Amino acid sequence: MKVSLVLRRLVAGLAALGLAACTPGPAPAGGPGGSQGRIRADVEQMARDFLEHRPMQPFVHDMPLTGAYFWQAEFARYMEPEMGRVVGYKTGGHDPGPGFAVFPPGGIRGTILEGMLRPSGSAVALHETRRGFLEADFAVRVGDESINEAVTDLEILAGLDAVIPFAEVPDPYYEETGRTINGTIVANMGSRFSFLGEPVPLAPTTESLERLNRFTFAVHDEHGTEIERGSIAGWFEPIRVVRWIRDELRQSGTRLEPGQVLSLGNIGIMRQLHEGSPRGPAYRSDAFTLSYYGLGDTPASVTIRVNRGAGGT
């Protein structure tokens, strides 16, 4: 696969920084019926199942959210040989719509691994996921370490250097029963692939902040036919979500680094890849192009192509 200039620069920059997954501290105590060894074995099995496209078993261990996030870091560490190091973070559950029963009420965070990243215009084959769906998202890139101490919205904005057109293919492939909030955290929300378009530079100005809070977006198919459109207004305020994920990470002893990508969550346009999904019919088009309007002088976009060839399921 030919990798775009933006992705090459991103990966090269992260490699130069020597970024790696956060090294967790001492493991928190397990809950009733589970020793540390059993929990570790279960998390390792979940990672193997995810990588090998088998349904992940329920995570039945009772523990506080801090414990679940510890094991999420271990889950990422088990996947690192195949999926690469942590190159960013993601969040969800900050939109005004109905909440997800398997998300913590205040929002959920996860990690973005280097091997998840694909450049705009590349394809996802149907056989690469089992419960995959196309999701319109929104991401920003950390530009300066000052973001870790930033107080005002403009100071946080000054710690970012770009909007990244961003769409995802999550793959929440779990056994049919027993899915829990802790299990969703540990399994990193079933994150499989992330697609990146060309960055849109950000300036630390009131005008940029206003643009972030009012841009519109739409998804089109390969023929330019509109699938759906919307507005960030009334969905979530991007800088507020950046602040949330910054604070969440800081509480766990993790600081943001320049070059990291922060996915701020879905913006309401999702389409299923597979037949028989309880979430709706399968997407029939061969491309899913998400475009943002109002962030700059011209639209910014990212495209996921759908490969329905041999090997698809």
Please give the pLDDT value at position 12.
43
CATH (domain of 212) = 3.90.850.10
Tokens read off for 53: 């496209």
Domain membership flag for residue 182: yes
In a domain, 312, yes or no: no
- State the pairing for strand pair 86-92/108-113: antiparallel
Strands 86-92 and 261-263: parallel
| Residues of the chain falling short of pLDDT 50 | 1-9, 11-26, 29-34, 311-313
Whole-angstrom Cα distance, residue 303 to residue 289?
4
Residue 92 has a pLDDT of 93
pLDDT computed for residue 8 by the predictor: 46
* Model confidence pLDDT, tens digit, residues 268-283: 999 999 998 877 899 9
Q: CA geometry: angle at 38 spanning 74 and 66, to 5°?
A: 45
What pLDDT sits at residue 262?
98
- Does residue 10 lie within any of the structural domains? yes
Within a domain: 162:
yes
CA separation for the pair 36, 40 (Å, rounded): 6
Q: Please count the CA atoms within 13 angstroms of the CA of 164 that sit on its side-chain side.
A: 29
* Structure tokens that stand for 221 in this block: 């198919």
Neighbouring-strand partners of residue 138: 165
Give 28-70 pLDDT, tens digit per residue.
544 434 488 999 999 999 999 999 999 999 998 999 999 999 9
The pLDDT of residue 179: 87
CB count, 10 Å around CB of 201? 13
Contact call for residues 140 and 156 (beta carbons, < 8 A): no
- Render pLDDT for 57-66 as a digit per residue (tens, 0 to 9): 999 899 999 9
Q: What are the residues facing 86 on neighbouring strands?
A: 113
Domain contains 313: no
Give the number of domains in the chain.
1
Strands 123-125 and 300-307: parallel
Give the per-residue pLDDT at 28.
53
Cβ neighbors of 84 (< 8 A, separation 6 or more) are: 113, 114, 115
Give the span between the Cα atoms of 286 and 190, in whole angstroms.
23
Residue 18 lies in a domain: yes
Structural domain that includes position 202: 5-307
Q: Find the largest Cα–Cα distance for the chain.
A: 58
Query: How far apart (Å, rounded) are the C-alpha atoms in residues 19 and 112?
Result: 12
CB count within 10 Å of CB 192 equals 23
